[in-house]
Structure 1
């Protein structure tokens, strides 16, 4: 049965997934905000913007492996349970992220350093894809109905919180060691810090028990033999492809902040040094965290579908003005205006993510929920994950004169507008899920209930 009260197990499940999702974003942000440093460490000398693109491209290539992790661990989470799945994924995610600290430099081994970096990113991508496959259902299945929207926002907010934490940690390292020391050796210490949240999440998960919803699936003998494959069979495949379209747009939303706001702030005509640029970016992640929590809570009253549709329309309208505010304030060195623009972008791009954990959990049956949530979430990467190619293409062939040769602010705004269109269409094609039960009825029991009592 579904939990009726918010218990200590509910709190543990929420905390566990908050930290697990924080770790995913923590690693992502370390890569993207420290891209100029990694470019000097892992690559031969070249244009700063091109070098940053190379590091971002390496990251986006590894993002493509997240669906692999979602397929593996989503299927496993529907067969053995959410808890066991999550113990494996948080171990893998924490260790593979920390191993980045052991990479040799380009000066030591040449281009092999960058190849090894890509291999580690692949491992991180696989375990990250598995993390939300079982993690989102784990948190949602421990949450009573009236708290679903708020807890969904808090869980998803862990991603933005992780980004903020990473930016603060990196800024602290630069302030303490100095940029030259970070480029020389201290960047290794930055990546070792990923072990701390991984250890906390692991300790919580080891103390937890399986969700009552999955236990109900086991008790009713409804565990599927092939939950992942069942996603592509009637009547579920239409649901999956609707979610895929929606999530493609959502990934455009996400990377309009996480991938390109640091890049915009760190390159001319912006005059901010890297430390200030990262701090300004971190303000955007604070706004993102607050927006995700508030959006998730509001969706419990307004509805997941309706709220997201209105948000998509508003995003399309304000995308260009808000990115213009960012680049203009960075060009004239107005710290307060740049911080405001960063916060607004964080709110706009990350607010709708607050409903993702519960929307996807309500979209798929309990016996295939880990597969549906995980692979449905990751399916947005098939097209959305190539953001690091779309923006340079738009910059080089369409909007270079608007962007300026050394920046990508307008191309990023257009990426966000495309995302808003895809999110809107995706939501229009799907139903409102507010009020959906997370527990799954046994078809045989349902059939027996409908049979007339004839003697």
Structure 2
């Protein structure tokens, strides 16, 4: 029997709910819209990390290459830190005015602000002001990105029939990994065409203009859609809450939010263990490719393909095994294999062994990004309709409060705890420890939470 939130006799939105009995055109549009929105978010972030040495050379004074790269990663981290602001603002809008309205605003803002990076002046022309402006842009990118998934995840999940939820959740979340893959591939192509000298000189500007492509397509899809039947019913029955964001911190929702925050903290540790530090490991000695940005980027690009399939497969499996059970098993497995994975990557790079480095990069991508495949569905199932955009958005972003400072944790571990294990310029072991800490936090977060498989999304309070 198909378990979906279908029409009932008392609904004033019968036709809308009939559309949820099958995966139809509206479901496909919502999926494509959020896939592209999440792709854009990752595309922008991954581009920053993939060309961190180039950004450092353009916007910062000459200094130690590793310190300069850490400075760029810190700016990236500040972008992440401001996501909760966007989640609070746009989650509130999504619960008050609607998911679709919210998404039109966020994709416009995210695309335009990200593309503005291409207009930045260089350090050579205005000094440190160039990096200050870069940080300001990153802050606004973070605000719009925080709003993007606040309404986006509920939007797609509320348009998805029950039996498709795990698959669509994994596919949508895989859009983030696919965006990383697309960005890394774009960087590789630009590096091949213009060379590293050309990138530093001028081609980095063209790179950031490419963010307008997915933004334009996502905007076109969203303009052609209507809001979800579930939110429409809430509005028709006059059940819109006056302060949905504030309600997250009141009983009975507060307990759910705190559990989600713990889980998401560990999830962000997982994410950065791939997106922030796999490129760093590949680009710094003893890696044989420390002077070959193109080859290091290629290896990382292939690894992000593993991340996409990891999230997609995890989402599908969760529909059979259960969101909670699968995550608990995965966390234990991660703790066991973290150090061997990153040691294998570092050694493969040191030996210049491309096949082995690609294999290890793929494994790291699958392990670190697999659990992200249930984020859209799990968070949507944890919060009722009237506070869902606020709960999903701020719950997602709440993991940043502790997890977002990874750009400080890893250097501290590298410099003060594990320098005898790490090499002088490579942070492979510190990254492995970051991932293990994330796995422990994820285990705790899921252990204290419920199994959500089978939860009805249609709830009019």
TM tier, smaller? over 0.9
Superposed displacement of residue 336, structure 1: 0.4
Aligned residue for 2:46? Answer: 29
**How many Å separate the matches in 1 of 2:76 and 2:323?**
31
Aligned residue for 2:100? Answer: 83
Runs of 4+ off more than 4 Å = none
Aligned residue for 1:427? Answer: 446
SS at match of 1:171: helix
Pick aligned residue for 2:170 from 150, 153, 173: 153
Superposed displacement of residue 105, structure 1: 0.4
For residues 307-332 of structure 1, the C-alpha deviation after alignment (integer angstroms, 9 at most, x for no partner) is 00000000010000000000000001
Superposed displacement of residue 149, structure 1: 0.2
Aligned residue for 2:315? Answer: 296
**How many Å separate the matches in 1 of 2:234 and 2:282?**
49
**How many Å separate the matches in 2 of 1:429 and 1:282?**
36
Structure 2 contact 386–460 (Cα < 8 Å) conserved: no
**How many Å separate the matches in 2 of 1:377 and 1:174?**
34
**How many Å separate the matches in 2 of 1:338 and 1:163?**
18
Superposed displacement of residue 401, structure 1: 1.4
- 1:67 is the counterpart of 2:84: yes
Structure 2 contact 36–214 (Cα < 8 Å) conserved: yes
Superposed displacement of residue 423, structure 1: 0.2
For residues 356-405 of structure 1, the C-alpha deviation after alignment (integer angstroms, 9 at most, x for no partner) is 10000000000100000000000000000000000000000001111111
Structure 2 contact 173–376 (Cα < 8 Å) conserved: yes
Superposed displacement of residue 275, structure 1: 0.4
- Report how many residues are paired: 442
- 1:206 is the counterpart of 2:223: yes
Structure 1 contact 77–85 (Cα < 8 Å) conserved: yes
For residues 209-236 of structure 1, the C-alpha deviation after alignment (integer angstroms, 9 at most, x for no partner) is 0001101111221100000000000111
Structure 2 contact 93–102 (Cα < 8 Å) conserved: yes
- 1:329 is the counterpart of 2:329: no
- 1:412 is the counterpart of 2:412: no
Superposed displacement of residue 441, structure 1: 3.8
Aligned residue for 2:201? Answer: 184
Aligned residue for 2:4? Answer: none
1:375-454, aligned counterparts within 5 Å? 375-442=394-461
Aligned residue for 1:227? Answer: 244
**How many Å separate the matches in 2 of 1:7 and 1:214?**
18
Structure 1 contact 149–299 (Cα < 8 Å) conserved: yes
* TM-score with structure 2 setting the length: 0.95
Aligned residue for 2:11? Answer: none
What is the Cα-based RMSD across aligned positions, in Å? Answer: 0.6
Structure 1 contact 216–439 (Cα < 8 Å) conserved: no
Pick aligned residue for 1:253 from 270, 274, 281: 270
SS at match of 1:400: coil
